[in-house]
Structure 1
Amino acid sequence: MKKIIVIPFLLVMFLSCNAQEKDRILIFTKTAGFVHESIPDGKAAIMKAGKERGIGVDTTSKASYFTNENLKKYKAVVFLNTTGDVLEEEQQRTFEEYMRGGGGFAGIHSAADTEYEWPWYGKLVGGYFKSHPHIQNAVVKVVNRDHPSTKHLPESWDRRDEWYNYKDLNPAVTVLAQLDEQSYEGGENGSHHPIAWYHFYDGGRAFYTGGGHTSESYWEPDFFEHVMEGIIWAADLQKVQD
C-alpha cells in the first residue's frame, strides 16, 4: 500500500522539478568596466516578475558559470548592464554553442558596451556603444508595434534615460524603436538611431534595448514591460504567458 502512495508522489515531484527547470532564465551581471548602480534594481524587478509569471530566475556575475551543463537549464540569458571583457575564450565558445542550440539572448543597456573584441557577440547584441550625452528626456519613436515588447507602447514615447550612440550596427536586425534626435541633445546617429531591436541569430533569438541606465527605469511600468516581454520573446516563452 505504501508503494502505491509513494511512487505517484515521487512522480509528481519529479515532473514538478522538471517543469521548474524547463522554464528558467539566467541574469548575467559581470562588469569589467563601468558598474551601473541600477543592476540590483534590474535584478530585483526581473526576479519579481519571473515569480509572478511562473518563470524561474537565477543570477550570476561569475563567468565561470558559463558551462554547457549550466546553460542548458535556461531558455534565455540576460546580459544586464554588463561591461567590458566578461567571458574568456572557452566561455565564449560555450555561449555560441548555447545560441546555436536554440538559446535566447536579451541585452539591456550596456550589454552593448561589452566584448568589443568578440565579433560574434557584436553581431548578436546588434551594435556597440560609441558615446552618450547626459541623462535627459527624449522621444522614442516606436516603429514596430507588432512585437510583444512594443505592442503596449505609444508610437511617440517620451521618457528619461541615458541615451547611447552606437557604432557597428548590425543591419540584419529588425528595429523596434528609434530615437528622435531632434528631441534631445547629443545624438550622433542621425535620422537612423535605433534604440531597441530583435533578430534571429545563429540558431537562437536575440533582443536588445538601449534603455535601463537608471534604477528608476526598472520600476517604470511601460519600460519594464518592454524589457520583460523582450526577455520572454528571447526565451520563446510566449506560449507560457497565453
Structure 2
Amino acid sequence: MPSEASALPNVARVLIYSATRDFRHDSIPTAVDALVSHGPAANISFDHTEDQTWFTDDRLQQYDAILFLSNTGEGINFAAYWTYHKYLDLGGNFVGIHSASDCLRNTTFFQKELGAAFDYHPELQDAIVDIIGPSHPSTSMLPKEWHVRDEMYNFKSDPRSVGAVVILSANESSYDDPGTRKFDQGTPHPTAWFQEHGAGVDSNGTAGRSFYTSLGHLNETWQDDLFMAHVMGGVQWALQANTTRASNANGAVGNGTSTPSTTGTNGTASASGSSSSPSTTTGTSAARSQYITASTPMVFIGAALAISLWTLF
C-alpha cells in the first residue's frame, strides 16, 4: 500500500455527481467548491453535475473516476444505471463520500462497488476516529486518534465481506449511540475503506479502484485542511489504478476532453445548468430525527416493464 499519492503524469478527469432524491446536505456546494479548488495541485480536473442525462457512454467514458457526493435515494434512472455499470466494467474508478452510501439502495453492483450501505447514525457530535490503515494516501497525514465533529455512520453489512480494506474506524467509546443495530458491520467499526479492485464489476470486466469515506457532513468539515487532505488522498489513490487513460494510455476510459455545457451555482461546472434537482429537498441535521435510517427503496418501473415485455415475447 503506497504511503502517499503523487500527482498524476496526465490530467485526470473526475465527474462529481451530487444528485439527491431524499434528504439533501446543505454542505454540497461547499464540498464541490473545495474539490474543484484542490484539483489543480493534484493534476485533477473536476466537473460537476446533478443531471442524470449526463450518464451516457460518450460522456462517462471521458472520466477517470465518477465521484458520488452526499447522494441520497435513487439518483439515476434505469438507462443511466446500465451506462454507469458499463463504465465500471471498462475500468472506471469509483469514489464515494458521506451519504453516497445512502443512494441506489436497490442496485446490487453499486452496493458492491461502494462496499456497504448506510443503515443509520446517531446525532451529530464530537467523536474520535481511529486510523487503522495509516500507510494509505488518504490517512498517512492523520493523527492516530483523529478528533472530528461528524456523523458516525452504521452500515448494513461489513465492507470487508466484498474485499474492502478498512482504514478508518469510529471509536465507539468516544460518542453516544443509543440506537439499535440490526446488522453486522464487522469489527472494528468501519468509517472509511478502499477496494483495490471494485467488487461491482462483472467477472469479465476490468475492475478499477474504489474509495469511500463516510465523513463530510458539515460545511466546516469541507473547509478543514486535514479532512481535505484525507479526501484528496483517497481520490488520487483511486486515480492511480492504471486502468484509465490518466495513468495508462491503453485504458478504455478517462482523460477526455468533453466538458459540461453550462455553469451551476457557486461557479462549479454543471451539465444541467443547475446544481440542484427539482425533486430534492433541502434541510439540516437538526431538521431530521435523531436516528436517520434509509427510507423505503423506490422501484425501478422501467426494469419491471422491461421484464414484463420480455416475458410476453
**Which TM-score applies when normalising by structure 2?**
0.67
Identity %: 36
Structure 2: distance between partners of 1:127 and 1:100: 19
User: 1:105-120 residue pairs with structure 2 within 5 A?
Assistant: 105-120=94-109
Kept after mapping to 1: 8 A contact 2:208/2:241: no
Q: 1:222 aligned to 2:226?
A: yes
Kept after mapping to 2: 8 A contact 1:78/1:107: yes
Instruction: Encode CA deviations 1:66-124: one digit per residue, 9 max, x unaligned.
Output: 11100111111110101100112221111111111111111000000101110111111
SS of 1:64's partner is helix
Moved beyond 3 Å, runs of 4+: 187-191, 237-240
User: 1:78-227 residue pairs with structure 2 within 5 A?
Assistant: 78-170=67-159, 171=161, 172-186=163-177, 188=181, 191-199=187-195, 200-201=197-198, 202=201, 203-227=207-231
Q: Give the C-alpha shift of residue 146 in structure 1.
A: 1.7
Which residue type is aligned with residue 234 of structure 1? A
Structure 2: distance between partners of 1:107 and 1:23: 17
Kept after mapping to 2: 8 A contact 1:27/1:59: yes
Query: Unaligned stretches of 5+ in structure 1?
Result: 1-18
Deviates more, 1:61-70 or 1:181-190: 181-190
Structure 1: distance between partners of 2:122 and 2:135: 30
Structure 1: distance between partners of 2:12 and 2:73: 29
Which of 40, 56, 60 is the equivalent residue of 1:71?
Answer: 60
Which residue type is aligned with residue 232 of structure 1? Q
Instruction: Encode CA deviations 1:149-179: one digit per residue, 9 max, x unaligned.
Output: 1111122111111111111233210111111
Structure 2: distance between partners of 1:231 and 1:208: 9
Structure 1: distance between partners of 2:41 and 2:236: 13
Q: Give the C-alpha shift of residue 191 in structure 1.
A: 4.5
Instruction: Encode CA deviations 1:186-234: one digit per residue, 9 max, x unaligned.
Output: 1755843100000011211110001001111111111111111111111
Which of 35, 39, 42 is the equivalent residue of 2:28?
Answer: 39
Structure 2: distance between partners of 1:206 and 1:164: 19
Which residue number in structure 2 is paired with residue 7 of structure 1?
none
Structure 1: distance between partners of 2:42 and 2:171: 33
Deviates more, 1:87-96 or 1:228-237: 228-237
Matched length: 221
Which residue number in structure 1 is paired with residue 18 of structure 2?
29
Structure 2: distance between partners of 1:168 and 1:191: 11
Query: Unaligned stretches of 5+ in structure 2?
Result: 1-8, 202-206, 248-313
CA distance 1:190–1:103, change in 2 (3 Å): closer
SS of 1:96's partner is helix
Structure 2: distance between partners of 1:167 and 1:51: 36
Which residue type is aligned with residue 232 of structure 2? M
Structure 2: distance between partners of 1:140 and 1:103: 29
RMSD: 2.0
Q: Give the C-alpha shift of residue 52 in structure 1.
A: 3.3
**Which TM-score applies when normalising by structure 1?**
0.86
Q: 1:55 aligned to 2:48?
A: no
- Structure number with the bigger relative contact order (C-alpha 8 A, sep ≥ 6) is 2
Q: Give the C-alpha shift of residue 130 in structure 1.
A: 0.8
